[in-house]
Chains A and B, each alone.
Chain A
Amino acid sequence: AELVVGFSQIGSESGWRAAETTLTKQQAEQRGIDLKFADAQQKQENQLKAIRSFIAQGVNAILLAPVVATGWDEVLQEAKDAEIPVILLDRTVDAPKELYLTAVTSDLVHEGSVAGKWLAETVADKPCNVVELQGTTGSSPAIDRKKGFEQALSGHDNLKIIRSQTGDFTRTKGKEVMESFLKAEDGGKNICALYAHNDDMAVGAIQAIKEAGLKPGKDILVVSIDAVPDIFQAMAAGEANATVELTPNMAGPAFDVLATYLKDGKEPPKWIQTESKLYTQADDPMKVYEEKKGLGY
């Protein structure tokens, strides 16, 4: 019989997430899997509801992109009781490992530290004031990407985070907050680098920097995370310096391990880490842009 897989997606709050959804659907189609998609609109309670109704429907497996790390024990236990394997996508959860089959994610802290390392190396010994655009307050990428970045910077006393405010992962807020950073730091003369928790905020901030009469990428270094297509355009124009890739194709590996597991019951490793690849202006950004453009970002 055809494989039925339920996919509980967080929602559609960013281009990256839309790309993840598109890719998951594509991957399922390629493998002839009947994907049941449920959009939770950023609410954990909706994800819990979705998983419960997947169980009630009797799907063969569940993909879960958890909106938050905590609070999954019970529903995962229910899935386990119903003998439905659960694979976590893109973020992990705070639950006993035996409750899910595996997690296909990147390491958020690692992403932050890749960005931080790049900045530290690029700046070398020069003193550098960094401003930080955080993600949505309280969200795990915001917390972990901040943590990783700070870890990478520790030991480099010439690098200092002088301002850090939330830009809610959006372009609009990224631009608005950057404007106020520029005003607050002497028209931007005080700022040497910008670290944004995602590319969208960076793109907004780049516009703010340009409108303030400064050159992003030169007067202010810009490093961000996600590697969505638009940042490559900015890199090609010399306005952004580096980005750390978070691949939206988490479903491919997930379906692969699922297939082997269902076929011969082989348990995969508990964590399949995706690569956090660093892209800089030297990596032919336009080419990457063309590759990524069609992926539904």
Chain B
Amino acid sequence: MKQRYLPLTATILIFILSYALCVAQYPNMLSTRVIGNLLTDNAFLGIAAVGMTFVILSGGIDLSIGAVIAFTGVFLAVVLEHGGMHPLTAFALVLTITTLFGALMGAIIHYLEMPAFIVTLAGMFLARGMAFVLSIDSIPIKHPFYATLKGLYYKLPGGGRITLIGGLMLLVFAVGILIAHRTRFGTNVYALGGGAPTAKLMGVPVAGTTIRIYAFSGLLAGLSGIVFSLYTSAGYSLAAVGVELDAITAVVIGGTLLTGGSGFVAGTLVGIFIQGLIQTYITFDGTLSSWWTKILIGLLLFAFILLQKGIIHLSRPDRQHA
């Protein structure tokens, strides 16, 4: 077992273990419905979290994604319902906008040497503000093309479905994994996370990479917004509040270090599943009050982190010879 895969393995183990525990208590949780739901319901979060993984791997953070998702939804709703544009054109347009928005934040972070936390926080205000300005109402999207897209799913035995957006999330993860581990850009992202000044000395194009990272995150946030608008058939400026925190949590549960430079895109997927599992478990239980729900989520989060630490600690031999 390679040491760098340890956190990932730990996370996967924890997921399998807790899923088994859940099933032991609620046998229904093994149904294909639950598995299909896990994919569909978390699709937008998963897609955004892939972008977040890259950002965090590079040592940054992107707080704007929730707001960008909301903006994308409202934008689509407005142009589709009031502008009469074809959804595909609108998709292309909105993805261009969010990508440029991300790139702009990346450029500010790099050229003005400002911390990502703050730049993207301002980005969050701005994106949500733009959504408000476009429309404060929630606008339903009734375009027939949406219905077509939503009609695309693969029915599993037992009533579950792999929907288009669920499949799209898996695809995005696959692409993300390839980019992270099999392209120079991916290695450069890790390099930035290992230390920007050093990476610069080693000839990594820091400016370009930073801009591309945030542009990529913006692109995926936009894609996530499209998925969200498909998911809810609407655009709403208050949608997806706090998604950035969920995404960060998924990334970190997935074994990526927030300090950057170490982690896996695949881990994020497991992180997403773990979070989804917690929620499913809580709904299956159904006896928790609002407050106990929060407390339990917090405690489970804590338990996962501890467990992960424990597994890594136990299986790491004292720094040894090569």
Direct contact of A and B (CB under 8 A): yes
- In the bound complex, residues from chain B placing their C-beta under 8 Å from that of A21 are 289-290
Inter-chain contact count A-B, CB under 8 Å?
Answer: 126
Q: Is A69 an interface residue (CB 8 A)?
A: yes
Q: Roughly how many angstroms separate A143 CA and B136 CA in the complex, as a whole number?
A: 8
Cβ distance B129 to chain A, nearest Cβ, rounded Å:
10
Which residues 217-261 of B sit at the A interface, judged by CB distance below 8 A? 228, 231-242
Which residues 188-243 of B sit at the A interface, judged by CB distance below 8 A? 228, 231-242
Contact check, A45 vs B236: say whether CB atoms are below 8 A apart.
no
* CB closest residue in chain B, given A56: B33
For A122-165 the 0/1 string (1 means CB < 8 A from B) is: 00000000000000111110010000000000000000000000
Contact check, B283 vs A138: say whether CB atoms are below 8 A apart.
no
Given contact pairs A41-B294, A137-B132, A138-B236, A54 touches B283 in the complex (Cβ within 8 A):
yes
Please pick, from A44, A54, A143, the residue contacting B239 in the complex, using a CB distance under 8 A.
Answer: A44
Q: Roughly how many angstroms separate A55 CA and B36 CA in the complex, as a whole number?
A: 12
How many positions in chain B have a CB within 8 Å of any CB in the partner chain? 46
Q: Roughly how many angstroms separate A46 CA and B283 CA in the complex, as a whole number?
A: 10
Q: Is A26 an interface residue (CB 8 A)?
A: no
- In the bound complex, residues from chain B placing their C-beta under 8 Å from that of A137 are 132, 136, 237-238
Contact check, A35 vs B33: say whether CB atoms are below 8 A apart.
no
Please pick, from A9, A12, A39, A48, the residue contacting B232 in the complex, using a CB distance under 8 A.
Answer: A48
Contact check, B234 vs A56: say whether CB atoms are below 8 A apart.
no
Contact check, A70 vs B34: say whether CB atoms are below 8 A apart.
no
- In the bound complex, residues from chain B placing their C-beta under 8 Å from that of A30 are none
Q: Is B177 an interface residue (CB 8 A)?
A: no
Contact check, A68 vs B236: say whether CB atoms are below 8 A apart.
yes
Contact check, B279 vs A46: say whether CB atoms are below 8 A apart.
yes
Contact check, B290 vs A11: say whether CB atoms are below 8 A apart.
yes
- In the bound complex, residues from chain B placing their C-beta under 8 Å from that of A12 are 290-291
Q: Is A272 an interface residue (CB 8 A)?
A: no
Contact check, A9 vs B28: say whether CB atoms are below 8 A apart.
no
For A1-41 the 0/1 string (1 means CB < 8 A from B) is: 00000100101100000100100000000000001111101
Please pick, from B138, B231, B236, B288, the residue contacting A48 in the complex, using a CB distance under 8 A.
Answer: B231
Contact check, A38 vs B231: say whether CB atoms are below 8 A apart.
no
Q: Is B121 an interface residue (CB 8 A)?
A: no
* CB closest residue in chain A, given B41: A49
Contact check, B140 vs A38: say whether CB atoms are below 8 A apart.
no
Q: Is B18 an interface residue (CB 8 A)?
A: no
- In the bound complex, residues from chain B placing their C-beta under 8 Å from that of A260 are none
For B258-295 the 0/1 string (1 means CB < 8 A from A) is: 00000000000000000010011011101111110110
- In the bound complex, residues from chain B placing their C-beta under 8 Å from that of A139 are 238
Given contact pairs A45-B240, A46-B279, A74 touches B150 in the complex (Cβ within 8 A):
yes
Q: Is A52 an interface residue (CB 8 A)?
A: yes
Q: Is B96 an interface residue (CB 8 A)?
A: no
Contact check, A70 vs B236: say whether CB atoms are below 8 A apart.
yes
Cβ distance A83 to chain B, nearest Cβ, rounded Å:
12
Cβ distance A150 to chain B, nearest Cβ, rounded Å:
15
Contact check, B37 vs A71: say whether CB atoms are below 8 A apart.
no
Q: Is A233 an interface residue (CB 8 A)?
A: no
Contact check, B140 vs A57: say whether CB atoms are below 8 A apart.
no
Contact check, A35 vs B286: say whether CB atoms are below 8 A apart.
yes
Q: Roughly how many angstroms separate A242 CA and B14 CA in the complex, as a whole number?
A: 56
Contact check, A70 vs B233: say whether CB atoms are below 8 A apart.
yes
- In the bound complex, residues from chain B placing their C-beta under 8 Å from that of A38 are 282-283, 286, 293
Contact check, A138 vs B137: say whether CB atoms are below 8 A apart.
yes
Q: Is A73 an interface residue (CB 8 A)?
A: yes
Q: Roughly how many angstroms separate A74 CA and B150 CA in the complex, as a whole number?
A: 8
Cβ distance A143 to chain B, nearest Cβ, rounded Å:
6
Q: Is B31 an interface residue (CB 8 A)?
A: yes
Q: Roughly how many angstroms separate A68 CA and B239 CA in the complex, as a whole number?
A: 9
Interface residues of chain B, those whose CB is within 8 Å of chain A, are: 26, 28-29, 31, 33-34, 37, 40-41, 44-45, 132, 136-140, 150, 159, 228, 231-242, 276, 279-280, 282-284, 286-291, 293-294
Interface residues of chain A, those whose CB is within 8 Å of chain B, are: 6, 9, 11-12, 18, 21, 35-39, 41-46, 48-50, 52-58, 68-74, 82, 94, 136-140, 143
Q: List 18 A-B contacts (CB under 8 A).
A: A21-B289, A45-B44, A45-B45, A45-B228, A49-B41, A49-B276, A52-B37, A52-B41, A53-B283, A57-B28, A68-B234, A68-B236, A69-B138, A71-B233, A73-B233, A138-B136, A139-B238, A143-B137
